[in-house]
Amino acid sequence: MEFKDLFSQAVSKNFRRGDVVYRAGETPQNIYFVESGLVGLGLWGESGKDHLVRLFREGQIFGHRSLFANEPYHATATVIDDSVLRVMNKNEMRQQMKGNCDLAEMLLQTLAVELRRAEAKQLTLSEKDAPARIAEAVVYLKELHPDYSWTRQEIADFCGTTTPTVIRTLARFVEDGLIEQRGREIIILDKKNLLAQG
């Protein structure tokens, strides 16, 4: 079983860039499947700044952790690129899960993978300097959604630094022949040496 099959009969909704799917503090009612597009999960820091902490692309689900934990959403889900989402309410999901070991295993595997990625990201933030984090973020974001032109602020939010630091670091990467910039678009020229930064 795949999530695409599970959500094949779920309600389909179109979202535009900037639309909020749900806000931090709201009570979870649904689980979402990304049929197309890109959705970001943002957390407000103590400084009052929004931090992009996770991204969901085509074929992934989101909103499930808070639903299964029976607690309010801890972050706000915002559409990064025009998206089509399939929406299943919690009662429908519970019906699907009854006696369905394959679905339960798939959901547990999804949660386990997300936990591993969160732990790896935390380690990167604590041990690597800004250029290394920016290099990894650029590679990850470009591979995640190649056709999207990532803003410098989105890159900064994702790797835990400031927009001016990202701008300066990307300029250095250009000088070193690692990337090329065409407006907002970033073209990776030397992935191996880009990832060796820091």
Dump pLDDT digits (tens) for 75-110: 899 999 999 999 999 888 888 777 777 777 777 777
Q: Are 189 and 123 in contact (CB under 8 A)?
A: no
**Secondary structure class of 90 (helix, strand, coil):** helix
The pTM for the full model equals 0.73
Cα-only R_g, the chain: 18
Residues with Cβ within 8 Å of 136's Cβ and at least 6 positions away in sequence, in order, are 124, 128, 159, 195
- What pLDDT does 15 receive? 96
| pLDDT at site 126 | 54
The pLDDT value recorded for residue 149 is 87
**Among 17, 144, 154, residue whose Cα is nearest residue 82:** 17
pLDDT at residue number 21: 95
pLDDT at 98: 78
DSSP H helical ranges for the chain: 3-6, 64-69, 90-97, 101-127, 130-144, 152-159, 163-175, 191-194
Note the pLDDT of residue 168: 93
**pLDDT tens digits along 148-167:** 888 898 888 888 888 999 99
Provide φ and ψ at 55, rounded to 5°. Answer: -130, 145
Spatial CA neighbour of 17 closest among 61, 103, 81, 78: 81
Q: What is the pLDDT of residue 123?
A: 58
Residue closest to 36 by CA, chosen among 70, 7, 64? 7
The predicted pLDDT at position 45 comes to 60
Write out residues in the chain with pLDDT < 70, as ranges: 1, 45-50, 114-127, 198
Nearest to 34 by CA among 65, 68, 3, 75: 3
> Residue 23: what pLDDT?
92
